[in-house]
Structure 1
Amino acid sequence: MSYERHGSGYGGGGRRRRRDDYDHYDRREAQQSPDQKVKADIIKYGEVDAEQELPQIAAKLRSQEQPNIPAIAEGFRLAVTEQPYKIPFYAALLYYLSIPAAKEETPVVEESITQPPLGRLVLDDFWKGFQAYLDKLAWRETRLCIHFFAHLTVANLISPQSMLGLLQSFTAVLDEFGVSNGRAKRAARCAAEGLMRAGQVLKEHNATAVIEMIAGIHAYNDSVKTAKWLVHPLAHLHSSEVSDEHADEMLDCAVSALKTLDLSDFIDVSGIFPQLYAAMSTSTVTPFDLPSILVPPEVIELAVLASESSEDAPIKKEEWPEYMLRLFDNDVTADPKTPAGYAVRADLLDIIEIFEVNRKECARVLVEYPKWIVKGTFKPRPSDPTEVPDRITLPGRDWQLESTLIETILGSHFLLPDSAIKPIYYIALITELCKLSPQTVGPAVGKSIRKLYGYCANGLDVEVLRRFAEWFSVHMSNFGFQWVWKEWAPDLALPMQHPKRVFVHRALELEVRLSYYDRVLKTLPEPFQDPSAGAMPDQAPGPTYEYEDATAPHYDAAQSILNQLRSRAKPEDVLAHLETVKNSLAEMADVNEDPDTLIRSIAIQSLLHIGARSFSHFLNAVERYLTVLRALSGSSEAKTHVLELVASFWQRSHQMVGIVFDKLMQYQIVEPADVVGWVFAHSSKGLDWDLLRSAVDKANGRVVVARRRVATLRKEDDDAHARAKAKANGGVADAATMEVDAETMHDPQVTQAEDSPQLVSALKAYEGVKHEQKSTLAHVLEGFVHTLHGSSEASRRVIAADSWEGHTSWGDEEWVAWRTWMWYKHFCRLYSPYLRSFVTTLSAVSFASLESSSEDGAMLIKRIWWMGTAQE
């Protein structure tokens, strides 16, 4: 596709710009203030050769007549928190600024004997910025600043005792009563990664304290094993033990790396992190003492304190252990359980997260990452002209960069229960890497796809498989749908519900959405083109209108209704016509169906037929005839029938089923609980998770919207009451008075003013959607309990399997049962915050039938529930 512009833009008439115009524009934009230039120089440091650039940039910073210390410190803060891969070099630069200028440097202004060195002043201001990060609980920025301090401690620019105190402040968080997993996990990483870099100096200073910190981190990590079982990407229903096979948990890896370093008294650190400052070591520098700190507590919203029930508290996303899926052996990609492997993995994850705003720049930095770490960590790129024959090779490393990058990106993408960043970012980032270096990244992507496909039959979590299919289909669409499908042709003999078959069907369905049916079909070998193989349908996605053929029963009645809808008749006229047609059908002797059911079928299908041309046609039709739709779906049975009609009409397009269901819930033609009931009623061939999640998200989303509206109106009401009170007292309501009055409004001992009608209405609506949310969650749990603990022998066989080796004899029933178990597991971990809000009610209602049961299935259902709601 060409993106060249033909003709002038924006309606024509634009003159051709002269080269002088662009030059003037570039010069104007390039102008920077002196402070901006200083920051830019610091941030760009190390892009070519950090060692050669060091004296030059140090001399430039020292040559300022009146150096702006806050600007220089801000440059260091931005550089450290946005370019973590260069932190060792920034530590060397600050150390260089803290020692007397070398003789070859000729700064314009000589440093006074009594004036502290420039580096000391910058470090003092840098600490203020770190304190601001800590106060805001900006955990990533805080952790990266600790990396910086740790390197400065090794360089003797920061005293060991103060650095030790800083790290102990973070390990103290692990002993807090009721500390959340997210807070403890982040605090533990801050302490662990600081120890990895400064451990040798700190252990020489106080070995006992270092050992105690490592033991504290280890003890906390052991306390969350239950949660780890729930989010492991390779599921093992038959075992309650957490397996480290093919997956690594970040905090587990940190503990393992720390223990390895501790056994060697941290003497191997210099071979893991660059220490450019080691060659500049001098005894003339007075170490800086970091002030003592306390890690601030988690922010507790005032709305939580004012709530009478936990059900009214704002929902906070649950934090889970972070399991990264491994795709390659330890001799191919960085092993995160080793100190060097953990350092690489942590760096890459930080880069991926920081550069979310610019995937192209992220791809460039990832490809260039080896030039900022210890030489010999990665194999040289085939096209690298700087690589010499006698290059350095480090024992246990010499990893492949591209495979490590793809494994890290996919590991982050496949985090359970949800990835930290939207999935499309990871997909686009891999695409950019392939475009940047197709010869080296392409093979790594291919190997990753094959490895993930192999995991499908080894317990790969259903949510990971779903994301894998999405990534695979989008990646194929970006590169001409080229894949070696013949490799997977033998798997067409597997049962239809086998995970490999499910993946192939899902991936091809998504490919068709991204392109055209005929184009995708031509890319497949003949075995996959056969409809009986279950990979591709026999025709392109489209509607199935029952009354299309003139020979179909009730064709004339359907045409009369269709013509009214096409002519955009008024809703009341359509309802009157439907009543007339229904009466005429009821009088027909050959009609055995219920007239209400029959007229609903004709009307709904006709309306869908009108909207089948495009999404906008569908929305216009629905919005125009909302009253007709509500009249046709007045009862619970009628709502279920409407959903049946939609699913039948779009049986060849699962995407459109989801879209129509979503819009019917949005316009409250059907409720989320109706969709939930329909999904479980049609789960014999596999639970439709997309529809189920859409229903639950709709119910939860309505509560979030209603809560925000209540909070907004409550604040407006409180402000109005405070102003009225101040006016009645003959004064002026200042901000402080209003704030105090707003707080006392929620005090039960204080007589409250009457709420506004808008607030009363919003509170009533909030209670209504909250009841709907609880009902939807209860319907989901009851559906899972009935499906998993029913009379299904297949479900019992799946639970009884003592290993994955016996799955080869499973048929479609067993695989459907296994997938249902996995979706139940995912439901409990994904919606854990919402489930915990109603834990008492949901437990009593949904698990009443399991109370007296001691069967393995009942116990497993309850165990997963307890884990998801943090009761175990």
Structure 2
Amino acid sequence: MAHPHRYSHGRHDRSQHNDDEEGGSRSKRSRLEYEELIAKERLEDLIAQLGNHSTIEQHETVQNNVHDLSMVLESEIPKFKDAIIEVLVACASERPDKLRVYGTLVGLINLKNHAFVGEFLERLVKELRTELQSGTSWSNLLCTVRFLAELVNYRVVAPASLLQLFNSFLGVTLEEGIPQARSDFFVHLVLASLPWAAAPLAEKHRTELMQLLSSVDSYRARRSLNHVTAVQSLAGQEDWIDSLWHQIQSLAKADWREKCSLRFEAFASMLASPDAVCHSLPAAIAPQPHEEASAAIGSSTSSYPPPRTVFRLFDYTDVPEDGPALPGEHSIERYLVEEHLSALIACHYHDRKECAKALLSARFGVRVPLPYMITELVMGQMLRLPQSDLLHLFYCSLLIELCKEDPETMPNVVAQATFSLFDRINGLNAECLSRLAKWFSYHLSQCKYQWSWSDWTDECQDLVFSHPKLVFLRDTAQLLVRFSYYDHVRKSFGPRLAPMLLHDKPPECHYKYDIEEDFSPEVVQSAQRLIDAIRERCTPERAIEVLNTLPVPAGGAENGGPNERHLLLKVDVFFSTLLFLGSKSFSHSFAALAKFHSVCKALVPLDNQAAKLRVLASLYECWRWHEQMLIVLLDKLVKVQLVDCQAVFDWLFGDCLGDSGEGLLPKQELSRCYSWDAAESTLSKMCKQLARLNEDWAKARQRYDSYHEKMRSGTAGDEDAAAAQKLPTDQSGPAAMLVDEDTPTRDELDAKLDRLEKARQELRLLVACLLRCAVWGAEGGGIPSDEACSGSGDEEANERHLRRLVYERSLACLTMHYSDVKPAMRDLRAQPPVAAHSVAAAQKFCNAFFSLSD
């Protein structure tokens, strides 16, 4: 068959030839663009991967890589200038573990191309301004300022301009009517960046540096320390700014020379060359005024970082004498090592294996007992209040990986840290005690459940029920049952310790209506008929008929009328039977609740608080030996709206607050972690529900206002106008909203607002309940000594321990949801829901709460 183009006209042939030429040129351009893209990505990868996994042995290799990359970038800047600047800016603000590597790289480039470095600094300062205005990443802001300070060492940034930047930050301390969290952050920003440029600043501007430190010291003298109560995980911890101030003073005594940093000395003479151009930073870099910053930050979920205390677990006596000495707690080397290790965690937290390798291969200019400092840092971050920076499970898995990477040292150090915390557990915050039990149980589950429990058996024999040591071991034991099984855990603890920590019965469902001695024969027979009916797959209507055959229980007027007592009995029998029949697994229980959901709703009216409490009491009586099942089913009951959040709080805390009612959770159960897990989960659900309703109402209000503004201004679209003309004549004004399905009517908007107000009121009641619990706990009189706690019958010491635990867990529960509960706490601060003699305790609690931000 002949080729079709052979017989085409000449014009067509020439057109085809031209198309071929254009196609070839397009292909050539595409190939060149592709090659350029590959080269650009290769440069970006070279910059981003510079100095990865460097160890002390690889220091010279990294030094050569930095020099080689500077030469490569110098030749590629004319072609890929914007891409190189973009990557360098990202690395400067997001890789705090490699500031000295990138600082040296920029310093070397500055020797040959100071114009490029000037543009880079402009972009970096622009990024700094963005971070100051947005308030969405304070860690990136700190990293950026530290990088600018690091550049002073390489004659890239003028020391005077850095001091000017620091003084602009300290100007925040002179503002009036601002929260301490704002001034604390900027003071910490200056102090935390100063060690990176301390030596050149002291050499060239010592007087100005001393004036800056004098301003910081003046601020320290007048700042409040109310927050220490709320954020101190272990008794005796030092405030973060006070601790850093002492470390800066230690640096000053050493003539501003620290020994920890590893810089590339081979470039020292090059970087000191007079050819290097010192760039000055713009003078207009300053924090926004508080009102503008509050508007920007308040529109997002972020706020100023809360204050902290410094976690200290080891001192020089805890490390081996034949190894490197542990730097003192106020030495600048201790701070710099901890900051570098924290930076490694922040950069590698997405991969626990890589994180463990990076931590154990960290390099410094001085020898330090690295396993001890890593363990102390990870423990401190895991126990940080009000909450950890990362997931609790990450820290648990990281410690396991560290033990795997260094099996000779790390397991012994972790065990030593555990024994140290157990010895000091009386000073450990109750919230941190619960986290410690969760970590310890997970750690043992990964280590074949091996531990020398006999070391703790003797000292636990005479302790009261709510003593922190028994609380820790009891929570650990219950969590170990989840990872393993009851008999194995009981055997591991031994015959002396197991009875104090584990329930007498294995974690099984307890059905109380199969014992005629405890109930009348009629009740037991009706319960059995209900079991038979459900097993025969009866309908919900048939289940209600069986429940109606229950006899009306006798009782006085204090137990409610006959109808009320009969309803509560039906609720108890039905839910106890349903939970018993679904006890095989979570799925069986969920399926049973779903099938008979209509019966549950009929038995538990929305306005009957006693019926809701009876449901929760039945749940506790069935599953009191299985805390995990209890927590999961409680969560399910809230999700399917059989009980509300207020009922859960009334059931959890009613006994300790002296409320009347049957079936309330015994207050001694508040010493178990499951009760507070339930409280925190319930409060979290309420906060999320309120956030959803708030967002829904705000969007509806915006649509409503926007549509009516268009109708008033006459800018509605043709379709809207045409649709409005089709409305009946009596539907004008607000009725015109019906033309837009997404625009709510006024009645719908009011209904959304009513739901929002009800949710706010319910959250206010939950917060008030926790505030009352905290006041009840504060009236306990503080921490009892170990000597006062001897004797299992010492009810006073047991009560004081329980009150202290309730106080600390209530405060932690609220501070973990600080931004959500803050409006409710402001209302309650003015009128505390407590008796007159407890107002002072309530105000003290509120001061500790608001110190995190105000």
User: Displacement, 1:627?
Assistant: 2.9
User: Displacement, 1:718?
Assistant: 3.9
Distance 1:301 1:80, change over 3 A: closer
Q: Give the SS at the match of 2:273.
A: coil
The equivalent of 2:630 in structure 1 is 657
User: Displacement, 1:329?
Assistant: 0.5
Distance 1:539 1:162, change over 3 A: same
User: Displacement, 1:805?
Assistant: 6.8
Segment of structure 1 superposing worse, 573-582 or 606-615? 573-582
* 2:843 paired with 1:865: no
Query: 1:269 corresponds to which letter in structure 2?
Result: E
- The CA distance in 2 between the partners of 1:564 and 1:721, in whole Å, is 58
The equivalent of 1:228 in structure 2 is 228
Matches within 5 A, 1:250-649: 250-266=240-256, 268-269=257-258, 272=261, 274=263, 276=265, 277-280=267-270, 281-292=272-283, 293-296=285-288, 319-330=305-316, 332=319, 333-370=326-363, 373-374=364-365, 377-378=366-367, 399-457=368-426, 459-495=427-463, 496-529=465-498, 531=499, 534-548=500-514, 553=521, 554-582=523-551, 594-634=565-605, 635-649=608-622
Q: Which one of 672, 692, 702 corresponds to residue 689 of structure 2?
A: 702
* Deviation by residue 1:120-139 (Cα, 9 ceiling, x = unmatched): 55444444444444443332
* Deviation by residue 1:678-727 (Cα, 9 ceiling, x = unmatched): 22214542523233333333333321221122123233334444554565
- The CA distance in 2 between the partners of 1:521 and 1:618, in whole Å, is 27
Query: 1:638 corresponds to which letter in structure 2?
Result: A
Matches within 5 A, 1:725-804: 728=715, 755-785=745-775, 789=779, 795-796=780-781, 798=782
Q: Is the 8 A contact 2:437 2:475 kept in 1?
A: yes
Matches within 5 A, 1:139-154: 139-154=138-153
Distance 1:347 1:65, change over 3 A: closer
- The CA distance in 1 between the partners of 2:395 and 2:702, in whole Å, is 39
Q: Is the 8 A contact 2:152 2:158 kept in 1?
A: yes
Distance 1:755 1:259, change over 3 A: farther
User: Displacement, 1:423?
Assistant: 0.9
- The CA distance in 1 between the partners of 2:597 and 2:378, in whole Å, is 45
Q: Is the 8 A contact 2:230 2:386 kept in 1?
A: no
The equivalent of 1:5 in structure 2 is none
Distance 1:43 1:226, change over 3 A: same
Q: Is the 8 A contact 1:38 1:75 kept in 2?
A: no
CA RMSD across the alignment: 3.5
Q: Give the SS at the match of 1:417.
A: coil
The equivalent of 1:7 in structure 2 is none
Distance 1:788 1:592, change over 3 A: farther
* 2:197 paired with 1:198: yes
Q: Is the 8 A contact 1:414 1:467 kept in 2?
A: yes
- Normalised by the length of structure 2, the TM-score is 0.80
Q: Give the SS at the match of 2:310.
A: strand
- The CA distance in 2 between the partners of 1:598 and 1:469, in whole Å, is 38
Q: Which one of 134, 137, 144 corresponds to residue 136 of structure 1?
A: 134
Segment of structure 1 superposing worse, 567-576 or 555-564? 567-576
Segment of structure 1 superposing worse, 769-778 or 551-560? 551-560
Segment of structure 1 superposing worse, 290-299 or 806-815? 806-815
User: Displacement, 1:81?
Assistant: 3.4
* Deviation by residue 1:564-594 (Cα, 9 ceiling, x = unmatched): 33444333343233223457999xxxx9994
Distance 1:491 1:520, change over 3 A: same
Matches within 5 A, 1:830-841: 830-834=816-820, 836-839=822-825, 841=827
Distance 1:584 1:481, change over 3 A: closer
User: Displacement, 1:500?
Assistant: 0.9
Q: Which one of 804, 808, 816 corresponds to residue 818 of structure 1?
A: 804
Q: Is the 8 A contact 1:477 1:511 kept in 2?
A: yes
* 2:187 paired with 1:172: no
Query: 2:69 corresponds to which letter in structure 1?
Result: I
User: Displacement, 1:605?
Assistant: 0.5
Q: Is the 8 A contact 1:91 1:151 kept in 2?
A: yes
Distance 1:773 1:819, change over 3 A: same
* Deviation by residue 1:839-864 (Cα, 9 ceiling, x = unmatched): 464246545523xx3xxx76444322
Distance 1:66 1:414, change over 3 A: same
Query: 1:357 corresponds to which letter in structure 2?
Result: H
Distance 1:731 1:637, change over 3 A: closer
Q: Is the 8 A contact 1:406 1:444 kept in 2?
A: yes
Distance 1:729 1:783, change over 3 A: closer
Q: Is the 8 A contact 2:161 2:280 kept in 1?
A: yes
- The CA distance in 2 between the partners of 1:732 and 1:191, in whole Å, is 59
User: Displacement, 1:288?
Assistant: 0.9
Which runs of 5 or more structure 2 residues have no equivalent in the other structure?
1-33, 320-325, 556-561, 656-664, 721-733, 735-742
User: Displacement, 1:769?
Assistant: 1.0
* Deviation by residue 1:257-301 (Cα, 9 ceiling, x = unmatched): 2222234442x1365453544342211212111112122357768
- The CA distance in 1 between the partners of 2:96 and 2:513, in whole Å, is 64
Structure with more contact order per residue of length (Cα contacts < 8 Å, sep ≥ 6): 2
Distance 1:145 1:577, change over 3 A: same
- The CA distance in 2 between the partners of 1:503 and 1:176, in whole Å, is 45
Query: 2:313 corresponds to which letter in structure 1?
Result: L
Query: 2:99 corresponds to which letter in structure 1?
Result: I
* 2:703 paired with 1:691: no
Distance 1:711 1:144, change over 3 A: same
Q: Is the 8 A contact 2:173 2:183 kept in 1?
A: yes
Q: Is the 8 A contact 1:62 1:118 kept in 2?
A: no
* 2:101 paired with 1:89: yes
User: Displacement, 1:525?
Assistant: 3.4
Q: Is the 8 A contact 2:110 2:276 kept in 1?
A: yes
Distance 1:616 1:178, change over 3 A: farther
Q: Is the 8 A contact 1:324 1:415 kept in 2?
A: no
- The CA distance in 2 between the partners of 1:636 and 1:762, in whole Å, is 25
User: Displacement, 1:86?
Assistant: 2.1
* 2:60 paired with 1:73: no
Q: Aligned pair count?
A: 749
* Deviation by residue 1:800-829 (Cα, 9 ceiling, x = unmatched): x6x777556764333223323333443554
User: Displacement, 1:866?
Assistant: 2.8
Q: Give the SS at the match of 1:613.
A: coil
- The CA distance in 1 between the partners of 2:574 and 2:347, in whole Å, is 52
The equivalent of 1:668 in structure 2 is 641
Q: Is the 8 A contact 2:341 2:374 kept in 1?
A: yes
- The CA distance in 2 between the partners of 1:566 and 1:501, in whole Å, is 42
User: Displacement, 1:404?
Assistant: 0.7
Q: Give the SS at the match of 2:278.
A: coil
Segment of structure 1 superposing worse, 294-303 or 475-484? 294-303
Query: 2:619 corresponds to which letter in structure 1?
Result: V
- The CA distance in 2 between the partners of 1:151 and 1:363, in whole Å, is 27
Which runs of 5 or more structure 1 residues have no equivalent in the other structure?
1-28, 101-114, 236-244, 306-312, 379-398, 734-744, 746-752, 790-794
The equivalent of 2:7 in structure 1 is none
